[in-house]
């Protein structure tokens, strides 16, 4: 499976600004906003994936690690498709591939 990781949308160079501000709250209810607008984070599994990625910011997290954590010992046969779908939805909410990158091949 693919390896995935979250990147912080910080400027690549000192003087460069992305114009994107993400605010994610994980203590209590999981909430996020992009440029002050609340984001739809989806259901329990999608939020769990977001939590795993946020807990590992700056580190590659393998799809297998995510599957093990989210689905435990009972991943469905379509787990790979489900994971990609959840990640795609998170990407859409957080501003695309710059916020959530994939490395490797499926």
pLDDT tens, position by position, 30-81: 788 888 888 888 999 999 998 898 888 878 889 999 999 999 989 999 999 9
More confident residue, 73 or 3: 73
pLDDT digits (tens, 9 = 90+) for 12-33: 554 454 556 778 877 777 788 8
pLDDT at residue number 43: 92
Is residue 94 within 8 A of residue 21, CB to CB? The reply is no
Helix axes 63-71, 44-55, angle to 10 degrees: 130
| Domains of the chain with CATH codes | 3-103 (1.10.10.10)
**CA 93 to chain CA mean position, Å:** 10
Whole-number pLDDT of residue 14 = 46
End-to-end CA distance of the chain: 5
Residue 44, token pair as written in the block: 């329990």
Neighbouring CB atoms inside 10 A of 80's CB total 15
- Kindly tell me if the per-residue pLDDT of 89 is higher than 80: yes
């Amino acid at each position: 499976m693919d390896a995935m990781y979250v990147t912080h949308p910080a400027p690549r160079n000192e003087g460069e600004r992305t114009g994107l501000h993400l605010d994610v709250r994980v203590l209590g209810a999981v909430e996020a906003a992009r440029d002050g607008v609340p984001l739809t984070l989806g259901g329990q599994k999608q939020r769990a994936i977001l939590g795993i990625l946020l807990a590992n910011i700056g580190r590659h997290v393998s799809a297998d690690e995510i599957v093990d954590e989210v689905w435990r010992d009972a991943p469905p046969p379509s787990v790979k498709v489900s994971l990609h779908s959840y990640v795609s939805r998170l990407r859409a909410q957080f501003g695309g591939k710059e916020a959530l990158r994939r490395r490797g091949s499926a």
